[in-house]
Amino acid sequence: MQTIQIKGVKREQFGKKSAKDIRRENLIPCVIYGNGGETIHFSVEAAEAKKLIYTPKSYIVELNIDGNIEKGVMRETQFHPVKDYCQHIDFFRVVAGKPVAIEIPVSIVGNSEGVKAGGKLQVLRRKLAVSGLEENLLDELVVDITELGVGKTINVGDLKYEGLTMLQPASTSVVAVLATRQSGK
């Protein structure tokens, strides 16, 4: 999995007023927690966080907080309900030897038999939640649809990736080929 570096500054002030002051300086309040480590409150520049927030990719984030390096994955982002800018980011700490849960993008490959016959391809999940060790995490989950016929579906239970555990129910649909009026001829 790809890694991205972001610089942060530890913060000592907490609460609404402090968060508003931080946001006025074009910074985003953040926190990293989990895996037995200390909870660290810090802030990052909004421009630097954009490359992490506004992308379909998933990353391991290397946070440089006042010279201390912390590894984590973005767990949750909070956006302003009207102005739609990022207000807060939560990171979950990644520790070597412990599995981490993360959503990884799905990549569809192949030319479906059902689509060739006139069916319509429907991608139902753009990302899937998986759990695994850092070294086993993939940049994308490749799903081959070559054998997928009209009216057929690929579910989470049909997918297997070495070293990863799927966190969605096995019956969750990922991609399907739907019958159209034209495919019924």
CATH number of the CATH domain containing 23:
2.40.240.10
> In the sheet that 173-178 helps form, which strands lie side by side, from edge to edge?
120-123, 173-178, 153-155
Give the pLDDT means over successive 10-residue stretches in the chain (185 positions): 92 85 91 89 92 90 92 92 91 92 94 90 94 93 93 94 94 93 56
Same domain as 168, residue 127: yes
> Structurally, how many domains does the chain consist of?
2
pTM above 0.85, yes or no: no
Which pLDDT value is given to residue 109?
Answer: 94
Same domain as 43, residue 123: no
Same domain as 172, residue 116: yes
Q: Do the Cβ atoms of 94 and 73 come closer than 8 Å?
A: yes
Same domain as 163, residue 127: yes
Which pLDDT value is given to residue 182?
Answer: 60
Give the range of the structural domain holding residue 26, as residue numbers without chain letter: 3-95
Same domain as 152, residue 71: no
Same domain as 8, residue 91: yes
Which pLDDT value is given to residue 1?
Answer: 87
Same domain as 59, residue 120: no
Q: Do the Cβ atoms of 93 and 33 come closer than 8 Å?
A: yes
Q: Containing H/E element for 23? A: helix 16-24
Q: How far is CA 141 from CA 7, 57, 125, 160, 174, in A?
A: 29, 11, 11, 10, 11
